Amino acid sequence: MLTMIGKRLMFAIPSLIGVVIVTFLLTRALPGDPAAYFAGPAATKEAVEQIRKKLGLDKPLIEQFFRYTNDLAHGDFGNSLTTGQPVAAEIRNRLPASAELTLLGLIVSIVIAIPLGVLAATRPGSWIDHLCRITTTAGVSLPVFFTGLVLVYVFYFRLGWSPAPLGRLDVFYSAPPTVTGFYLIDTLIARDVETFRSALSQLILPATTLAIFSLAPIARMTRASMLAVLASEFVRTARASGLSPSTVIVTYAFRNAMLPVITTLSMVFSFLLGANVLVEKVFAWPGIGSYAVEALISSDFAPVQGFVLTMAVMYVLLNLVIDILYGVIDPRVRLEG
Amino acid sequence: MKRRDFLKSVSGLAAGAALPAMPQVVSSAKADARSETLLIVSEGGPNNLDIHGVGTNVPGYEVSWNCYDRLISHEMKSGPGGVPYYDRDKFKGELADDMKIDDMSVTFKLKKNAKFHDGAPVTAKDVKWSLDRAVSVGGFPTFQMSAGSLTKAEQFVVIDDSTVRVDFAKKDRLTIPDLAVIVPCVVNSELVKKNASEKDPWGLEFTKQQTAGSGAYKVTKWTAGTEVVMERNEDWVGGPLPKIKRVIWRMVPQAGNRRALLERGDADISYELPFKDFQEMKANGKLNVVSLPFSNGIQYIGMNVTKPPFDNPKVRQAMAYALPYQKIMDAVLFGLGNPMFGAAKDKATEVAWPQPHKYNTDMEKAKALLAEAGYANGFETTISFDLNFAGVNEPLCVLVQESLAQLGIKTTINKVPGANWRTELNKKEMPLFTNVFSGWLDYPEYFFYWCYHGNNSVFNTMSYKSAEMDKLIDGARTAAATGDKAAYDADVKGFVDLAYADVPRIPLYQPFVNVAMQKNISGYQYWFHRRLDYRAMAKG
């Protein structure tokens, strides 16, 4: 097990080096001149040059690159020019917000999609199968920002059930002391039920938006993989042996059908992090997605590089976790690994 | 039971009678907090709390304005629609008790009991250090100071603990007004020096993160890109104690959500909404919508006069006759702007800026002029705009494109990302473009000096050069400094006339700054910087 993890991590190193080089070059290739942007609307040519010097952008590209990697090695991601803060600190503060939202969205999605997929597979052609097809198709065809806006319009503006889309907490609550960075957990640690409720109610709409979007792949994949497994011989044998339908479906079929679903989950999680960008915009969510987009718009190199790098590291870790999960679910994978 | 639950239970009942005073009845403590708190929602937030910092953005100016004091500030007068509007010509002391103007200097006496947020007294040394800082740090603050001929640290002299003298480098009418803009703010020099380093002698890194002033508010919490929280400074002496105790400023990127927050009564005030939203909110009357013209600001179509076809004045005049002015006013601005076109034929030129030109949409005349210039069959060109302001610029350019097509001019629209726009302007290669210029200092010669003078500043986006124009602009500047009114008037009229005869740029309209707020919010003031001044505002 440990050797497997070590091996996987070794494989990740070249890809991370590649990511560092590519993001560095890509951000440099962006149109726009950060010096001109940050010199302000009223800047003279000299003022722009002064700023360029201050930002170290007058140095040759290769020197800038070595400086950048040297800083990276010391854990320094540089400073964001738009927000004026160190990138590492900002990502550390914002990542939990995105992660909490994405994870909750994913959990909601799993809770709905997997039973839906299983039910649809056991009764193909029935009304539940059609329901599954319709909800998933509708969910995936609506762009996330649109779903988000509709939800805000209906549940906040029209009905007033949901709190104002103003980020993670109502303005008059203060954030719990940071332990994990997840407000739902931190408020419970602090035994602050009131703030927990506020944090949860702020999360419902954006998490639902993400869940609606990610229902489709999970439900469809569960259905397809269940259908395949249910048609296989060992299920027929189990049924013929007189096992109860629930034992057959849950213990025998479902566990075997899980492998492709897990793979899909990892993919869904990664593209949810991407879809997050728009959801964060709609709900004024202080996550890393909106941070990266703003940085991109203002040609702010450091946060974009920091964001891509963080994402790359997360993907590597995510893949590792998925590989380990495979082993837990399917012993054969463990043996081969 | 908390706000949220309460909201749920009353939302049905309150739907009809819901005035802004809606859901805050929960606990009296919370209600108090709410009635003394101003909740602002806007698209962007500050990137730096100090206007002297590198690349501080416009929202950052708002923080500086409210958290720092200047020596002097402007009085208010009644503006369009009765809204208080800053008075360009009248000054009042903020940190200064008294201002004495001599021939080549001005002397300020500081208020005796002025204190910084940390309790240290405001002394003449702090004032000098702050002004030195503004002229030395480079970039925008230094540039803005130089606009009032304030360029050297030697110009600021400490007489005694509470007296400061500013020496004039030369006679310049803009020196005093330039001391009342946002940049020459007074910083707590001892505190900042303690936190400065060799690499950063002016302590910019320190003031980026916290306010170190004597202003009416101080920043108590700032999460970049998310929110700024400011508390009132109870010991403020710059003016009457503000009514608002706490300001919470949240960034809400979605314009639709900002409007929803306003209409639901959850936010108190917002700006940066689409014109259509302002128009609709104005019409349904649930909120107060204030629309005021930018002082000394114009949205225009510019043409690069160094290259054909726009090097030909006939072509430029043809363009001025071909623009769909009224359509732009109606379909793009929804009427929220002052027209800068179609003045009456016999109207005399005024000594004022901005003022409308006499061109109107007249395709026949445009065609004739184009034919005279040898472009009877039109030509091909590209019109560029800044995507940061796509809400206005994009429909505007589409309308221009349509209109020019009638003359056989084929126009391609080039959308320039915001980050790139200034670089593009600096290159001065775009043949045709739309842009806004607005000067903090509201003087015609100031506008013309930046936009039409042959020294070719960034804002002379047309690369326009004319010896006659330069003579008139320089003449007006000298005349203003020496107080020669007759010469000044003649020169101002002269350069306005010339600018409209040569038309290197075609003014379209004077844009409006639009602010929407709850009915119980009062005290909004228009300032040259167009940001909010919390000090005069009140709630309830």
Look-up of token digits 């991590």: A9
CA atoms within 13 A on the CB side of B21: 6
Query: Which three-class secondary structure state does DSSP give residue B84?
Result: strand
Q: Indicate the pLDDT class of residue B536, thresholds 50, 70 and 90.
A: very high
Maximum mean pLDDT: which of A43-52, A242-251, B8-17, B474-483:
B474-483
Q: What are the chain A neighbours of B56 within 8 Å (beta carbons)?
A: 40
CATH class for domain A93-288?
Answer: mainly alpha
Is ipTM strictly over 0.90?
no
pLDDT of residue B11 exceeding 70: no
Q: What are the chain A neighbours of B463 within 8 Å (beta carbons)?
A: none
A90, A170, A281 ranked by CB distance to B254: nearest: A281
Are A282 and A151 a contacting pair, CB within 8 Å?
A: no
A51-68 pLDDT, tens digit each: 778 777 777 888 888 888
Question: Is A164 within 8 Å of B458 when comparing Cβ atoms?
Answer: no
For residues A215 and B329, what is the distance between their CA atoms, to the nearest angstrom?
46
pLDDT of residue A141: 86
Which of residues 37 through 76 in chain A touch B, CB cutoff 8 A?
A: 37-45, 47-48, 50-51, 54-55
> Does A204 reach chain B within 8 Å, measured CB to CB?
no
Query: Which three-class secondary structure state does DSSP give residue A38?
Result: helix
For residues B323 and B195, what is the distance between their CA atoms, to the nearest angstrom?
55
Query: How near does any CA of chain B get to the CA of A162, in Å?
Result: 8
Phi, psi (rounded to 5 degrees) for B170: -155, 170
**CA dist list (Å): A161 to B5, B11, B486:** 8, 8, 67
Single-letter residue type at A132: C
> Does B420 reach chain A within 8 Å, measured CB to CB?
yes
Cross-strand pairs, B186: B69
Query: How near does any CA of chain A get to the CA of B144, in Å?
Result: 8
Sequence-separated (6 or more) residues with CB below 8 Å from residue B20: B265, B518, B519, B520
Q: Print burial letters for A221-245: b (CB count within 10 Å at least 16), e (below 16).
A: bbbbbbbebbeeeebeebeeeeeee
pLDDT of residue B28 exceeding 60: no
Q: Which of A113-122, A321-330, B43-52, B200-209 has the lowest mean pLDDT?
A: A321-330
Question: Is A39 within 8 Å of B422 when comparing Cβ atoms?
Answer: yes
B219-251 pLDDT, tens digit each: 999 887 788 999 999 999 988 999 999 999 998
pLDDT of residue B473 exceeding 60: yes
Tally Cβ neighbours within 10 Å of residue A124. 12
Token pair for residue A152? 């805000």
Q: What is the mean pLDDT of residues A187-209?
A: 87
Are A94 and A288 a contacting pair, CB within 8 Å?
A: yes
- Chosen for mutation from A90, A171, A281 (greatest number of chain B CBs closer than 10 Å) is A171
For residues B131 and B187, what is the distance between their CA atoms, to the nearest angstrom?
9
Q: How many CB pairs under 8 A join A and B?
A: 162
Query: How near does any CA of chain A get to the CA of B267, in Å?
Result: 9
For residues B276 and B335, what is the distance between their CA atoms, to the nearest angstrom?
10
For residues A253 and A232, what is the distance between their CA atoms, to the nearest angstrom?
9
pLDDT of residue A40: 61
Query: How near does any CA of chain B get to the CA of A313, in Å?
Result: 24
Sequence-separated (6 or more) residues with CB below 8 Å from residue B342: B325, B356, B358, B359, B360
B208, B254, B420 ranked by CB distance to A84: nearest: B208
Tally Cβ neighbours within 10 Å of residue B330. 12
Sequence-separated (6 or more) residues with CB below 8 Å from residue B32: none
> Does B457 reach chain A within 8 Å, measured CB to CB?
yes
Which runs of consecutive H residues, i.e. helices, occur in B119-188? 124-136, 139-146, 175-178
Query: How near does any CA of chain B get to the CA of A143, in Å?
Result: 15
- Look at A30 and B239; give whichever has higher pLDDT: B239
CATH topology of domain B58-254+518-539: D-Maltodextrin-Binding Protein; domain 2 (3.40.190)
Are B227 and B519 a contacting pair, CB within 8 Å?
A: no
pLDDT of residue B4: 46
Tell me whether strands B269-271 and B505-517 are parallel, antiparallel or unpaired: antiparallel
**CA dist list (Å): B429 to B232, B425, B426:** 48, 8, 8
pLDDT of residue B7 exceeding 50: no
Which runs of consecutive H residues, i.e. helices, occur in B68-186? 124-136, 139-146, 175-178
Sequence-separated (6 or more) residues with CB below 8 Å from residue B111: B93, B95, B96, B97, B122, B237, B238
Question: Is B422 within 8 Å of A33 when comparing Cβ atoms?
Answer: yes
> Does A2 reach chain B within 8 Å, measured CB to CB?
no
Tally Cβ neighbours within 10 Å of residue A261. 24
**CA dist list (Å): A121 to A6, A215, A224, A229, A263:** 39, 15, 7, 10, 19
**CA dist list (Å): B70 to B126, B135, B191, B441:** 12, 15, 18, 16
Query: Which three-class secondary structure state does DSSP give residue B278?
Result: helix
Token pair for residue A99? 């992660």
> Does B208 reach chain A within 8 Å, measured CB to CB?
yes
Q: What are the chain B neighbours of A164 within 8 Å (beta carbons)?
A: 261, 264, 266-267
Query: How near does any CA of chain B get to the CA of A167, in Å?
Result: 8
Closest CA to B316 of B231, B225, B431, B223: B431
**CA dist list (Å): A231 to A120, A237, B369:** 14, 11, 81
pLDDT of residue A39: 66
A276-335 pLDDT, tens digit each: 888 888 888 888 888 888 777 766 778 888 888 888 888 888 888 887 777 777 777 665
Q: Quick one: three-class SS letters along A101-140?
A: HHHHHHHHHHHHHHHHHHHHHHCCCCHHHHHHHHHHHHHH
Maximum mean pLDDT: which of A110-124, B43-57, B85-99:
B85-99
Which of residues 9 through 28 in chain B touch A, CB cutoff 8 A?
A: 11, 15
CATH topology of domain B297-511: Dipeptide-binding Protein; domain 3 (3.10.105)
B3, B254, B418 ranked by CB distance to A170: nearest: B3
Question: Is B55 within 8 Å of A40 when comparing Cβ atoms?
Answer: yes
Q: Which helix (H) or strand (E) holds B116?
A: none
For residues B493 and A55, what is the distance between their CA atoms, to the nearest angstrom?
44
Question: Is A284 within 8 Å of B419 when comparing Cβ atoms?
Answer: no
For residues A307 and A92, what is the distance between their CA atoms, to the nearest angstrom?
11
| Domain ranges (residues) in chain A | 93-288
Sequence-separated (6 or more) residues with CB below 8 Å from residue B26: B1, B2, B3, B6
Q: What are the chain A neighbours of B263 within 8 Å (beta carbons)?
A: 157
Single-letter residue type at A187: T
Cross-strand pairs, B222: B228
Are A295 and A82 a contacting pair, CB within 8 Å?
A: yes
